[in-house]
Every structure is written in structure tokens, then in C-alpha cells.
């Protein structure tokens, strides 16, 4: 099994996690030879039922985990990365006009990579991910918090991996690549002890 979690939380102080939004957990099977897909789905659903019985608010079956992963990257690849780069929260980024000029172009590049990888992501999913947080949101994504705390940022997994897949599949992703290269510069500054300025 594998899982994708969408959760609004952050570390506050020492060993304290603050949840500011619900945890939506999608769990799906890994399909492989020797086990029928129907059995993998059934066993995954059994695990989900047990997990929910323990008090989980929202845990659902994701029969297509690669698609679920690409859908999560839509939000993280756009909001998480650009918030970290610009030191802005989600609402500030939206109110600035960047949703249409920067965030959605990143999302459409991710959709193009997914399509070349055999996974169709509908326009309604892009619209949902682009508008799921209100413009009044003060949410500060994990990469922004990591940057502020001078911790390693997870841009390799969020952008680096899809960019490498894009190259292998011959898909141009200029906006994602630019954000990725700028985040590498930010990371280099932190790694080399160069003081961040506001």
C-alpha cells in the first residue's frame, strides 16, 4: 500500500505539531504480478476500514496512486514552492495575482507531464487545486516554514522529480524549471551560511 496525505499542519516550538486543517488521507494498493488487482483493492479497503475505526476523520481508497500523487503535486508544486521562494503565505500569493500568472501555469505543466506519463488529470481538478484555499488564507506551507527555519527544503521531491520525468518524456516545463533553479539558489545560500534578508 501507499498513501497521499493532504494536511494543514506545522511544527510549533519543540516537539509540538499544530493542525490547522483536516487531514485527508488517500490510501491505495501497489498492484503487482501474483496478486489479483481485486484482492489488492479489497485488502487496502480492509486496512482503510481499520484505520477509520481508530478515529481518522477522512481516509479514502485511491485505486490509482500514481494519479493521486500527481494531483497532490499540483498544489505542492505550485503553492508550496512559490510561497517558499517569495516568502509569502497562500492568501498573499493569491491576492497578488500569481494564481493566474504563475501557479496555474505550473499546474498545467504538471498536467502535461502526467499526460505524457499515461495519467489524465481533468480541468476540474486543476481548478479545485488552484482555488481550494481562500484568498484570506494565512496558511504558510511547509517549504516556507523550512526556509524560515533554515532547514532543508523538499523541492527535489516536489519539483525535481517531475522535472526529471518531464525530460525523460520530452515535455517542456519552463516555469517549473525556473522555480526549481531559483529554489536551488535559495538552498545554496542557506547551506553556505549566507544570511537571508527580508
Return the number of other C-beta atoms located less than 10 Å from residue 54's C-beta.
7
- pLDDT over threshold 60, residue 198: no
Q: Which residues contact 158 (CB under 8 A, 6 or more apart)?
A: 73, 76, 77, 80, 81, 143
User: What average pLDDT does range 62-78 have in this prediction?
Assistant: 93
If phi over 0 gives left and psi between -120 and 50 gives alpha, with beta otherwise, what is residue 83?
alpha
Tens digits of per-residue pLDDT, 91-127? 999 999 999 999 999 999 999 999 999 999 999 999 9
What φ, ψ does residue 17 adopt, rounded to 5°?
Answer: -105, 125
Its pTM stands at 0.85
Three cell numbers written together for 90: 497562500
Tens digits of per-residue pLDDT, 82-91? 999 999 999 9
As a whole number of angstroms, the distance between CA 120 and CA 90 comes to: 26
- Residue corresponding to grid cell 545554496: 188
pLDDT, residue 190, reads 84
Confidence of residue 3 (pLDDT cuts 50, 70, 90): confident
Structure-derived torsion over alpha carbons of residues 68, 148, 97, 174, reported in degrees to the nearest 10: -60
Average pLDDT score, the chain: 90
Q: Domains for the chain: give ranges and CATH numbers.
A: 2-61 (no CATH), 65-191 (1.10.1040.10)
pLDDT, residue 196, reads 65
Confidence of residue 15 (pLDDT cuts 50, 70, 90): confident
Amino acid at each position: 500500500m501507499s498513501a497521499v496525505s493532504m494536511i494543514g499542519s506545522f511544527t510549533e516550538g519543540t516537539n509540538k505539531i499544530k493542525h490547522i486543517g483536516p487531514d485527508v488521507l488517500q490510501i491505495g494498493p501497489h498492484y503487482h504480478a501474483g496478486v489479483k488487482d481485486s484482492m489488492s483493492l479489497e485488502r487496502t479497503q480492509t486496512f482503510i476500514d481499520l484505520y477509520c475505526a481508530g478515529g481518522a476523520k477522512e481516509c479514502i481508497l485511491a485505486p490509482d496512486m500514481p494519479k493521486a500523487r500527481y494531483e497532490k503535486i499540483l498544489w505542492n508544486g505550485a503553492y508550496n514552492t512559490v510561497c517558499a521562494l517569495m516568502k509569502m503565505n497562500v492568501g498573499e500569493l493569491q491576492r497578488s495575482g500569481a494564481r493566474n500568472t504563475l501557479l496555474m501555469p505550473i499546474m498545467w505543466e504538471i498536467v502535461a507531464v502526467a499526460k505524457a506519463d499515461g495519467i489524465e488529470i481533468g480541468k476540474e481538478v486543476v481548478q479545485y487545486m488552484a482555488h481550494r484555499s481562500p484568498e484570506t488564507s494565512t496558511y504558510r506551507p511547509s517549504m516556507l516554514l523550512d526556509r524560515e527555519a533554515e532547514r532543508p527544503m523538499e523541492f527535489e521531491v516536489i519539483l525535481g522529480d517531475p522535472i526529471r520525468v518531464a525530460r525523460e518524456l520530452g515535455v517542456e516545463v519552463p516555469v517549473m524549471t525556473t522555480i526549481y533553479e531559483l529554489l536551488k539558489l535559495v538552498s545554496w545560500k542557506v547551506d553556505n551560511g549566507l544570511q537571508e534578508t527580508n
